[in-house]
Amino acid sequence: MSLCLLGLFGCTSKPIKPRVITVTKTEFVPLMIPAPLTRPTPIPKQTLITNGDLLSINLRLLHALQSCNSDKALIKQSTQALKQ
């Protein structure tokens, strides 16, 4: 029996070529965003009685929106720095 197996594996006319396998490993790195950039932006509150009050609340809301956009820009910068 062993002679039969030897005959199957011992002699071959062509050498066996090794097969190359490429393995890709994907690793996820958690993004650490600074805490001040993820804090909620306070919503300005004001009682509207006059047109001046309306102007005041509009300016305060515009400031809050600019603060949010500034935080988003800083988050974008920090994520782009990690990609490089």
Instruction: Say whether pTM exceeds 0.95.
Output: no
Structure confidence at residue 5 (pLDDT):
52
Q: Distance between CA atoms of 5 and 11, rounded to whole angstroms?
A: 11
Is 23 within 8 Å of 74 (Cβ atoms)? no
Per-residue pLDDT band for 55 (boundaries 50, 70, 90) equals: very high
Instruction: For the chain, give the longest Cα–Cα distance.
Output: 106
Task: Residue 82: name the closest of 27, 39, 23 by CA.
Answer: 27
Q: Apex CA 4: angle with CA 3 and CA 6, to 5°?
A: 65
Answer whether residue 8 shows pLDDT above 60. no
For residue 68, give both structure tokens.
């949010």
Structure confidence at residue 18 (pLDDT):
86
